[in-house]
Amino acid sequence: MPYLLSIPLNDFKKHAMILNSMLNESFSLERMIESMNILEEIKAHKDDLTPKELKIFHIVMNNPIDISSSTTSQIAARYHVSQSSISRFCQKVGYSSFSDFRMALYLSSSTNKFDELKLPEFQDFTYYMCEQVKAVKAALTDTLLHSLAERILNSDSIYVSGATYSSIPAQLLTQQLVLASVPAHFVPNGNEIELLHITRNTDTFILFSAGNPTHADFLNSTKEISLEKKPYTILITFSNKHPLRKLVDAVICLPNWVSLHYPVSVDNSFTTNTFCNIFFNYLMNFISEH
């Protein structure tokens, strides 16, 4: 027990994760040895991957250490991929399960086999962050910003919601709207439906969504209430094919590192926070001019 307590928390979690994999998965010594060259092993299957699997391939190659210490649900939320696609990818590259694959990846990182991986230099990453800001700014046309500003200022109340990583920009936008003297309220994940008892068609509901089920339940519920109580709904997403797009009144689609085909991962919360800051500056200027 003293030995366990001496292990840093993050390392302890990783070791516990690996131990759990060993107890629940058949992980042979032969596979353990083969895993030392896992990146080359993955590359050998690249031509056999589907577009969705290829996306996961690039995520793994660019973020091997992060992937080796994450669960499928964490990866799905962080990189906006499905857990089923992750499982299929692991099977396609020769592993029976994600736990098996993750252990091989972890062992590779432990033996410093990622030294040959061409990770981006810091200045390159900074460059892509700057490019991301430019891309978001270009996507937010004056027409779109003007329409959004008018909608918000003409609403009686603004409700903003987001789950997991999307809760960060949701809370940021709420705070910014309050600073602009707009009656805005952050709605924690799971509390959206309760607000339908007090909302009116003069209210606006903004959803930062990665397709979480509570937002789907909320939007489906809005179809069952009277038009007088139905709030105007806006979805902020990274995909024009978002499963909730047909249930809302307006969609704001932001570019991210995947749609822009960047070779490095720029966290999606950086993109949504950029949106919040650009809109807040526009809104303050809009208010001062009117």
Specify the CATH number for the domain of residue 14: 1.10.10.10
Residue 102 and residue 68 in contact, taking contact as beta carbons nearer than 8 Å? yes
136 and 259 part of one domain: yes
Q: 262 and 222 share a domain?
A: yes
**Residue 190 φ/ψ region, left for φ over 0, alpha for ψ in the -120 to 50 degree band, beta for the rest:** left
Phi, psi of 233 (to 5 degrees): -115, 135
What's the per-residue H, E or C state across the chain?
CHHHHCCCHHHHHHHHHHHHHHHHCCCCHHHHHHHHHHHHHHHCCHHHCCHHHHHHHHHHHHCHHHHHCCCHHHHHHHHCCCHHHHHHHHHHCCCCCHHHHHHHHHHHHHCCCCCCCCCCCHHHHHHHHHHHHHHHHHHCCHHHHHHHHHHHHCCCCEEEEECHHHHHHHHHHHHHHHHCCCCEEEECCCCCHHHHHCCCCCCEEEEECCCCHHHHHHHHHHCCCCCCCCCEEEEEECCCCCCCHHHCCEEEECCCCCCCCCCCCCCHHHHHHHHHHHHHHHHHHHHHHC
What pLDDT score was predicted for residue 8? 40
Q: Give yes or no: residues 59 and 171 share one domain.
A: no
User: Is 31 within 8 Å of 69 (Cβ atoms)?
Assistant: no
- Show the tokens assigned to 154: 């003409």
pLDDT of residue 178: 96
Query: What's the pLDDT at 209?
Result: 77
Q: Is 149's pLDDT higher than 80?
A: yes
Q: Lowest mean pLDDT: which of 66-75, 179-188, 250-259?
A: 66-75
By residue range, what is the domain housing residue 127? 122-289
> Which residues does 68 contact at the CB level (< 8 Å), separation at least 6?
14, 102, 105, 106, 108, 109
Last residue of a domain, one of 85, 110, 135: 110
Residues 155 and 206 placed together within one structural domain of the fold: yes
Residue 16 lies in a domain: yes
Question: How many domains is the chain partitioned into structurally?
Answer: 2
Q: Judge if 135 and 168 occupy the same domain.
A: yes
Q: Do 39 and 98 lie in a common domain?
A: yes
Question: Residues 154-183: what's their mean pLDDT?
Answer: 93
pTM over 0.75: no
pLDDT band (50, 70, 90) for residue 113: very low
- pLDDT tops 50 at residue 25: no
pLDDT in tens, 58-112: 998 888 877 877 888 889 888 899 999 999 999 999 888 888 888 788 776 554 4
154 shares a domain with 86: no
Position 25 in a domain:
yes
Residue 115 lies in a domain: no
79, 110, 141 — which closes off a domain?
A: 110
- Residue 263 confidence (pLDDT): 78
Same domain, 68 and 102: yes
Average pLDDT, the chain: 81
What pLDDT is recorded for position 273? 93
Burial 86-110 (b: 16+ CB within 10 A, else e): bbbbbebbbbebbbbbbbbbbbbbe
CA-nearest of 266, 170, 152 to 209 is: 170
Residue 116 lies in a domain: no
Are residues 153 and 223 part of one domain?
yes
- The answer to whether position 100 is within a domain reads yes
> Rounded mean pLDDT of 209-235?
87
Residue 218 in domain: yes
CA distance 114 to 214: 39
In this predicted structure, the answer to whether residue 217 has a pLDDT above a threshold of 70 is yes
